[in-house]
Amino acid sequence: MRAIQIHEFGDTSNLKLEEVDTPVPQRGEVLIRTEACGINPIDWKTCAGGGAAPFIGELPFIPGWEFAGTVEEVGEGVSGYGRGDKVFGMIRFPERAGCYAEYIAAPAAEIAKRGDDLDSVTAAGIATAGLTAWQALFDKGSLQAGQRVLILGAAGGVGHLAVQLANWAGAEVYGTASGRNHSFLRSLGAHKLYDYHLDDVTQVLSDVDLIIDAVGGDTAINALPCLKPGGVMVTLPSVTKDQVIAAGDEIGHAVLPIRCEANADQLAELATLHREGKLRVALAEALPLEQVAEAFRLSQEGHVRGKLVLTL
């Protein structure tokens, strides 16, 4: 099969499209013919030697943790799946999963079925960002109906899904984004938006119950005063989490880091919300697998609205 591999950590010149052996599904696994795979910042950070690199082991390494495809073969001990089933998921994170490939051996317990309404390109963009948004809002943030939530980086892959999930949960949703993305985010359910180029949110927003920080660094630190006493920030970027947590401690606000975890039940819930028209994925661009370096470049620029996806 064809797959993207790296033989050393570094820049995008290390991304090679190569012929490798097709995996064989082990007990508890299904073999999936990949139709699309999602691009996430953790992918290029890991390939550069950061991110999840400590969990990868020896190189070469096939990147990617997020995919959509069709079941080709079912391993021993697997029930509920058969050849031809349409599926999607985020698997094995932070250990190697090998999703930038034509075939994937995936743990059946970490994937979910998708209906005809959820095409492979859309499904490939929903798993990691959707699970991250869900777990940040509800598992870590304990968001309740009627609460006020501020989403930093609301137009990004995680952010635009967090806006919709928070609105679905009955929260009052605020967000920061470039002005060009405000009408888009209002269409997703955001109640009030601030242009990070122009607005200091601490001057216009207070008594927030929960902040979802998809930006990190000084942006997160500067937004901490928006929290009410007892409010919580959930910070997503791992590279700045320690400094954001320390800044929260200094002024008495809890900051919680998060590592997205595979969860088949939550994937199924996301698929249901999509089918019911309550959750939609904004696709920034779909590029063929061999253009992975260009996809990484776009992601690294940090101005993507929605999700980037590779197609096979």
Question: What are the domain boundaries of the chain?
Answer: 2-113+282-311, 128-257
Q: What is the mean pLDDT of residues 259-287?
A: 95
Close Cβ partners of 281 (under 8 Å, ≥ 6 residues apart): 122, 125, 126, 129, 130, 161, 274, 306, 307
Confidence category of residue 15, pLDDT binned at 50, 70, 90: very high
Confidence category of residue 83, pLDDT binned at 50, 70, 90: very high
Q: What's the pLDDT score for residue 100?
A: 98
Q: Is 128-257 in the same CATH topology as 2-113+282-311?
A: no
Judge contact between 130 and 48, C-beta under 8 A: no
Q: What is the mean pLDDT of residues 79-99?
A: 97
The hierarchical CATH code for the domain 2-113+282-311 is: 3.90.180.10
Mean pLDDT of the chain: 96
Measure the CA–CA gap between 193 and 255, rounded to whole angstroms. Answer: 22
Q: What is the mean pLDDT of residues 230-244?
A: 95
Tell me: pLDDT of 306 over 90: no
Q: What's the pLDDT score for residue 282?
A: 92
Structure tokens at 37: 């795979």
Tell me: pLDDT of 305 over 90: no
Measure the CA–CA gap between 94 and 86, rounded to whole angstroms. Answer: 24
Paired with 90 in beta bridges are: 66
Strand 103-107 and strand 29-39: the pairing is antiparallel
Q: What is the mean pLDDT of residues 127-145?
A: 97
Judge contact between 267 and 111, C-beta under 8 A: yes
Tell me: pLDDT of 304 over 90: no
The number of C-alpha atoms within 13 Å of 310 and in the hemisphere containing its C-beta is 28
CATH class of segment(s) 128-257: alpha beta
Tell me: pLDDT of 236 over 90: yes
Q: What is the mean pLDDT of residues 3-18?
A: 97
Measure the CA–CA gap between 22 and 73, rounded to whole angstroms. Answer: 12
